[in-house]
Amino acid sequence: MSTRASDNYLPLDNFDGTGSDLAPFLYAFCNGLTETPYQHKDEGKYLIAETVRAEDRTIYTTIRSGSHGYQSTLRDVETHQDTYERQANEAELIPLRNLFVVPRNSLAGIFLTERVGVRGLKSSLDSILTRSFGAAFPGFAIDLSPLAPEAAVKASIEEGELKKIRLVRYGIPSDIADQYNLGAHEDELGVMELILKPDRALSFPKHKVRKALNDNSLPAMLEIRGLDYHDIKLEVKVGRSMRTLTVTQERPPRVTFPLPENKKLPSGRPADETVYEVASEVVEELARDLAIRESDYAGTEFFWTADMLARKLMITSDEG
């Protein structure tokens, strides 16, 4: 949370000096999304909240997200038969689980969001949340910055076993597309990965990865045989759990935590309680790294002030 003019960060539970608290705003924002979907017509984005609940100073919400603006065919991959023709005004909505932790007496909070493949909410939610907050509190802004917790990155490299290296390129080079007669622009062809695995149950040595994080040798790691890759994803085992450290040239390293599969469902996606159980462990780790005390976000409720109740939260669609 910061002022637009100075970029000075402010306490989340009293950012304007009159008791205004970010927690009830976020709760109202998420509830607003259950009643008024968000739509960005030019970008083809559509969001609607499915469930919202608050516990202490943590807000849990499931938001269904999808894209529209183009026609496509749905096909049964087992029978190889087309089953449905999707129209340009229809969106395939995938439910993504999210939580916001808004501690008292803190300049920083925690926002965790689920990703399914390349599908996530960060950019879309950032846009609408920033605009809605600015409309409710002129002169103040929310800063949703990706966080690479130092402790998690260090543990991943120093303490973990490097089990797999994935070099990821978003889009397929045109020469490879032509070779396989793919016949489309590379940006429309998804993701290409090169996966490196050690023999048997061994682990990779980590000195080159550690060196790349400490100097300017990262570009060399992202190029193999003249082909540039965008991300390096390091799959690391720390104790009994797995985590993924993503390294790019544009952003600081970031850590993601894979969720266990639910074999009872065809989709394999875990239930809400499983997602939030993993998320609570991540929150504890991030809170320690950010010097946030558990007592400032757990066992402490937020309250609606008269000023907050008087404000009308507006969520509008973007025409582009």
pLDDT at 295: 92
SS3 76: strand
Query: Alpha-carbon distance 88 to 44, whole Å?
Result: 9
What is d(CA 196, CA 178) in angstroms, rounded to the nearest whole number?
25
Q: Give the model confidence (pLDDT) of 123-177 as tens digits.
A: 788 888 888 898 889 999 988 876 655 555 666 677 678 888 888 877 766 666 6
Report the range of poorest mean pLDDT among 3-17, 59-73, 91-105.
3-17
Closest by CA position to 54, among listed 301, 304, 270: 301
Whether 59 has a pLDDT exceeding 60, the answer reads yes
As a 3-state breakdown, the chain gives helix, strand, coil percent values, each rounded to 5, of: 25, 30, 45
pTM for the full model?
0.71
Measured in degrees and rounded to the nearest 5, phi and psi for residue 93 equal -100, 120
Q: pLDDT digit string (tens) for 167-219?
A: 887 776 666 666 666 655 444 556 778 887 887 767 777 775 666 555 555 55
* CA atoms lying within 13 Å on the CB side of residue 144: 17
d(CA 149, CA 90): 38
Percentage of the chain surpassing pLDDT 90?
A: 18
Q: What is the pLDDT of residue 222?
A: 59
Least confident of 73-77, 179-183, 185-189, 220-224: 185-189
In this structure, which amino acid lies at residue 302? F
* 113: number of Cβ within 10 Å: 18
Q: Which two tokens stand for residue 2?
A: 């910061």
Residue 261 predicted with pLDDT over 60: yes
- In DSSP terms, 96 is beta-bridged to 63
Mean pLDDT of the chain: 77
10 Å Cβ neighbour count for 260? 13
Report for 18-32, 35-49, 262-276: range of highest mean pLDDT: 18-32
Which backbone phi and psi does 207 adopt, to 5 degrees?
A: -65, -35
pLDDT attached to residue 218: 55
Q: Is the pLDDT at 33 greater than 80, yes or no?
A: yes
Task: Measure the CA–CA gap between 217 and 240, rounded to whole angstroms.
Answer: 31
Which H or E element spans position 110? strand 110-113
- Dihedral angle, C-alpha 197, 203, 205, 209, nearest 10 °: 60
Is the model's pLDDT at 24 over the cut of 80? Answer: yes
- The average pLDDT across 287-291 equals 80
pLDDT at 146: 65
HEC string of 133-192 equals: HHHHCCCEECCCCCCCCHHHHHHHHHHCEEEEEEEEEECCCHHHHHHCCCCCCHHHCCEE
* pLDDT for the residue 30: 92
Q: Look at residues 167, 217, 213, 218 and name the one whose alpha carbon lies nearest to residue 194.
A: 167
Give the confidence band of 10 by pLDDT, cuts at 50, 70, 90: very high
